[in-house]
């Protein structure tokens, strides 16, 4: 039988009556009889005494050697029983490679744990009292807002959010609910503003044609997410709203349809 490679060791492959795969190996012995393993050894020290190996030779080691869970590939002296492959200069156990990967994964988990993420939050929504939406950008009256839910990183005065600590990232989202009693097409707008100590500046603006007649009399404008990075303590934020067209427009609608959210993300 001609052996084209050391992996050409299958003598017969068949299925058993219950569907299992049955593989017969060509038997060991001398001469040209093919063998799966070029070498066998009592332990790793015995394996190192073998000579004449070529790259990709396989060996089977019958007994483990050294201290378990401290593989030789990561500075230890544990060499498990099982299959070894020769890479042209040394013998390597597949189990050692697995142990090394587990050690690397553990290091990554430690790094993640060491760089924990602190999250703080703020949320306020309307109390269903309603107020007229003006035709120029204006603050939302404090009477519209319900009691906020806020972590220690935020302070709320009814109009402004003050950030109480230096923050890596703050994410804002807001929704303004509108309702009209007229028949005009209505555009609603909301903008997020920031004051670092020298007055407010506009960070972003969102506008949409929300309503068009009495039948379609309730809709809103949404800013789903806006990120502000490297925020210093005592920075203030607020939103302002506007309508273009329409009559009798207010942020009434479904209670909670108008809201303002903020989240702080800090690496600690």
pLDDT at position 29 over 50: no
Least confident of 13-17, 21-25, 105-109, 143-147: 21-25
Is 7 a member of any domain?
A: no
Q: Cβ–Cβ contacts within 10 Å for residue 181, how many?
A: 11
CB 180 within 8 A of CB 217: yes
Per-residue pLDDT at 152: 93
The rounded Cα 12 to chain-centroid distance in angstroms is 48
Of residues 99 and 66, more confidence is placed in 66
pLDDT at 181 over 80: no
Query: Residue 1: pLDDT above 60?
Result: no
Q: Which stretches of the chain are assigned E, i.e. beta strand?
A: 10-15, 21-25, 39-41, 58-61, 82-86, 91-93, 117-125, 138-139, 149-150, 154-156, 161-163, 167-179, 186-195, 200-211, 218-231, 236-244, 259-267
Q: How confident is the model over 124-135, as a mean pLDDT?
A: 86
Q: Does 131 reside within a domain? A: yes
Angle at 163 between CA 157 and CA 168, to 5 degrees: 160
For the record, the structure tokens of 224 come out as 């789903």
- Among the candidates 91, 113, 135, a domain finishes at 113
Whole domain around residue 231: which residue ranges? 117-267
Question: Which segment, 145-154, 211-220, 241-250, is predicted with the most confidence on average?
Answer: 145-154
> For the domain that residue 168 is a member of, what is the CATH number?
2.60.120.40
Q: How confident is the model at residue 5 (pLDDT cuts 50, 70, 90)?
A: very low
- Distance from the first to the final alpha carbon of the chain: 67
**Same structural domain for residues 109 and 235?**
no
pLDDT at residue number 169: 93
Residues 171 and 261 in one domain: yes
- Top pLDDT among 57 and 246 is at 57
Give the pLDDT score at 122. Answer: 96
């Amino acid at each position: 039988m001609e052996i084209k490679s050391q992996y050409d060791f299958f003598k017969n492959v068949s299925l058993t009556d219950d569907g299992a795969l049955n593989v017969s190996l060509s038997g060991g012995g001398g001469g040209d009889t093919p063998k799966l393993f070029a070498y066998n050894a009592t332990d790793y020290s015995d394996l190192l005494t073998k000579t004449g190996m070529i790259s990709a030779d396989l060996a089977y080691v019958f007994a483990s050697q050294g201290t378990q869970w401290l593989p030789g590939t990561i500075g230890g002296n544990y060499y498990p029983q099982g299959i070894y492959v020769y890479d042209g200069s040394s013998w390597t156990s597949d189990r050692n490679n697995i142990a090394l990967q587990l050690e690397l994964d553990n290091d990554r988990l430690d790094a993640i744990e060491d760089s924990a993420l602190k999250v703080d939050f703020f949320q306020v929504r309307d109390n269903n009292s309603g107020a007229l939406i003006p035709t120029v950008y204006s603050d939302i009256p404090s009477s519209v807002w319900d009691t906020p839910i806020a972590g220690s990183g935020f302070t709320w005065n009814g109009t402004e959010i003050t950030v109480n600590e230096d923050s890596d990232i703050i994410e804002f989202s807001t929704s303004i609910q509108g309702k009209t009693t007229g028949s005009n097409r209505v555009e609603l707008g909301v903008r997020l503003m920031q004051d670092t100590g020298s007055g407010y500046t506009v960070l972003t603006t969102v506008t949409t044609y929300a309503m068009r007649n009495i039948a379609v009399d309730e809709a809103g404008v949404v800013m789903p997410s806006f990120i502000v990075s490297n925020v210093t303590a005592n920075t203030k934020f607020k939103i302002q709203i506007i309508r273009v067209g329409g009559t009798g427009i207010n942020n009434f609608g479904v209670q909670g349809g108008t809201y303002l959210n903020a989240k702080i993300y800090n690496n600690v």
